[in-house]
Each structure stands twice: as C-alpha cells, then as structure tokens.
Amino acid sequence: MIWHLLAVFIIGLCVGAFAFALRKLSRNTLPKWIISVSAGLGMFGYLAYYDYTWFEFKRSQLPAESVVVEQSRTSNFFKPWSYIVPAVSAFVVLDGKVRETHTDGDTLVEYIRYEFINEAVERLESQAYVLNCNTGEQLPVVHNTSSSNSTVERVPRDSLLYKQLCR
C-alpha cells in the first residue's frame, strides 16, 4: 500500500515536472495551471492503469494449476473511470488441490476458496468448503466447533465451480 501511494506521488511529480519544462520551453506562453492539472491527470492516469491491470498482475502470481472461477466488477465513486468500463475488483480462485472422498454413494470434495479483493487495502479471504457433487450442496468448514451457524449453500450445476470440482 505504501509503495502504491509513493508511486502515485512520483508519477504526479514527474508529469508535473514535464509540464513545467514545457512551460519554460515555450517561454511561459503556456498557462501556469497546466503544471498542476498535468500532475493531477498523471496521478489519475496511474491509478486507472493500476486498477485495470491489477487482475492480470495478481493472476500471473498464482500457481499454474489454479483456476479463476468467479470475477466481480464494480463501479466506485472514487474511481470515476469505473463508471465507463468497470475493472475487476474481486475474483475467486481454486488452487487445484482438492480432496475427493466417496461415502454412502455420495462424492464429497474438500477444497479451499480464495477470494482476492481490490479495495483501498488489498486483501485475501480464504475459506475451506465441502461440496457434495451428487446434490450440489456445499458447506463451509468451521474450525471452531463451539459455533456451528454454517448454512448449506446450493451450487448450480452449470457453474464453473461445480464443473471444475465435480468432473
């Protein structure tokens, strides 16, 4: 986060310095405000670039066997370019490491779901699940046995998650 903020300021400084040099080369015929407007546009440009390349960058850091099963695109007031073309703000990954068991005619698959979220601070949420391939129901694995408020969730059979886990 701090490196990202530092990069925004450096880009603003560089673009502002370039506009200052252009103003001096034109013997001050360009208006003074061109320096601050250029610096601001440079910072917004970098933020938009980072926003649109975040998903591909994060995906390139994942292991080869991992599979992206969901993506979400949202608009944000503080990112005005996202109203034109929303960038990927979160995605869900399966790491390819699943454990399959067969009990009472049911095929149960244990897997870990990783969700990468790009907000003010990037974060990663992970949760272990058990999916019954015969019924299409999944249940989160709760390690704390004192509170079992887990609810059974339905997984559509045509979803990429189901197709990837229940081949």
Q: List, for residues 124-157, the tens digit of each pLDDT value.
A: 999 999 999 888 889 898 876 665 667 888 988 8
Say if residues 116 and 93 touch (Cβ distance below 8 Å).
Answer: yes
What mean pLDDT is reported for the chain? 90
The answer, yes or no, to whether residue 59 has pLDDT greater than 90, is yes
Give the pLDDT of residue 120: 82
Question: pLDDT, tens digit, for every residue of 82-106?
Answer: 999 999 999 999 987 888 888 888 8
> 0.75 cut: is pTM over it?
yes
Q: Are 40 and 12 in contact (CB under 8 A)?
A: yes
